[in-house]
Structure 1
């Protein structure tokens, strides 16, 4: 970890919607936040009830967000407003092709406020079949020294 890394508490909420269903998931984990040039990086490890831990690294550059997950699942998803991106999602149940179209991308750094925030609103199509609306809200704040 770089010397400017800060210990943070991460709150991640995702919402998936299709015609008649709405599913939300929340994760709260300790993590690390650091800046390298104009790139800001947030890392944390999810500990799902089932399966292996999942390491998550979120890289934020101006108008570009990349989420890389490894461990229980393997994927790298890229978000750019008004751009469609594609990637593969490797899961214990098989590989899935994902297309992501980002409607909205907002980021507020810890350098701008006491609480950092990433908000993504996007459409995701899995295996060329089902398209669902997704919203991801991630907040993080520096751990207080106790």
Structure 2
């Protein structure tokens, strides 16, 4: 892998369950994968939503301990996902800043050097601005372009 990163295609599926309500969101993007020692970094631009003037860049840092997600652009967010730990973060959008409380249940990831494919599996419970928003199950697949 070069210092500029490995070009990857990314597919993300997020399922949100809140009581009987269930939502599924999908996204596809291209980005870069970096590996430095025990740290894996995935960087990509999210597709623009309707009405957004600015794209959002997402940086996902994965380590043995957990995962950190930073989003900058139309949406700004910085959140840590540590299994078994409740963490605090902020979510900023056109609607203003909102506090986040995240209780991470699971973070798994892998990169197979031979097949040039990897995945991230994340499960967490989210409380946004004091309101319980449900359980999130996110699965991200990425493979070399």
**Same fold, TM-score > 0.5, yes or no:** yes
Q: Determine if contact 1:117/1:140 at 8 Å carries over to the other structure.
A: yes
Separation in 2, partners of 1:108, 1:125 = 28
Q: What is aligned with 2:5?
A: 5
Alpha-carbon offset, residue 56 of structure 1: 0.3
1:33 is aligned to: 33
CA RMSD across the alignment: 1.7
The aligned length equals 143
Aligned with 1:104 (options 106, 124, 134): 106
Deviations 1:58-93 (A, max 9, x none): 000112100100001000111111011001101101
Distance 1:112 1:119 in 2: 20
Cα drift, residue 105 of structure 1:
1.1
Distance 1:53 1:19 in 2: 32
Q: How does 1:11-30 map to 2 (within 5 A)?
A: 11-30=11-30
- Structure 2: stretches of 5+ with no match in the other structure: none
In structure 2, distance between residues paired with 1:19 and 1:6: 40
Q: TM-score, normalised by structure 1?
A: 0.91
In 2, the alpha carbon distance for the partners of 1:28 and 1:8 equals 11
Q: How does 1:1-146 map to 2 (within 5 A)?
A: 3=3, 5-50=5-50, 51=52, 52-111=54-113, 113-143=115-145
TM-score, scaled relative to structure 2? 0.92
> What's the CA shift for 1:112?
6.8
Q: Which runs of 4+ in 1 moved over 2 A?
A: 110-114
Q: Higher mean Cα deviation, 103-112 or 82-91?
A: 103-112
1:34-71 Cα shifts (integer Å, max 9, x gaps):
11121110000012232121100000011210010000
